Copies of this chain bind each other. A is one copy, B any other.
Amino acid sequence: MSYSPLIDELIDALRCLPGVGAKSAQRMSFQLLERNRPGAARLAAALAKAVDKVGHCASCRTLTENEQCFICADSRRDTDTICVVESPADVVAFEQSGDYKGLYFVLMGHLSPIDGIGPEEIGIDKLLQRTSELAVNELILATNPTVEGEATAYYITEQMRSRGIAVSRIAHGVPLGGELEYVDSGTLAHALKGRRRID
């Protein structure tokens, strides 16, 4: 049904959020207008400002409003290792694990010829330039274990091999603490194929 042009437009606009359908967009609209107008005004301002100012890190391509992101700008990071990921959310996941001290390179996607996404779109030139200017000695490929992620990892491996840079791929398999019966069969097959001999 129709409420009023402005409320209809708000409900419709909220549906651009991932995971928000018609019903929750309606609930969100009413809740904001009835009970949290300061929150709604703050969200409007935050969205407008982020859309206007957030771009990509000149060094690693992740999202940032600065010339360089806070990781690339941090002089304590090891500059001889670069971990290649598909998206800024993957950087967050690695940072939360707390174990990695090197730099990142964010492809902002993966190779997908069918969608017109080739090496240029995922910044391979920039990655090659970065690896040579930093004298990187290990490139860790952490693209997703999907068909496209694997193809992208393969492509980057070929590019690096011809330049003599060591490339590694993160391990995939059964998550720690995961019970076998709840692990999907693709992961299980992968874990089996990737088994290592215990000496």
Contact = CB atoms under 8 A, between A and B. Distances in A.
A10 interface: yes
Interface stretch (A25-33, A122-130, A145-153, A164-172): A25-33
Secondary structure at the A interface, as helix, strand, loop or mixed, is helix
A63 B7 contact: yes
**Copies of the chain in the assembly:** 2
Interface residues of A, number: 56
A14 B43 contact: yes
Interface stretch (A48-56, A173-181, A189-197): A48-56
Nearest to A88: B30
A37 to B, nearest CB: 5
Contact of A50 (B7, B16, B45, B48): B7
Given A18-B28, A39-B16, A89-B30, A4 B70 contact: yes
B33 A63 contact: yes
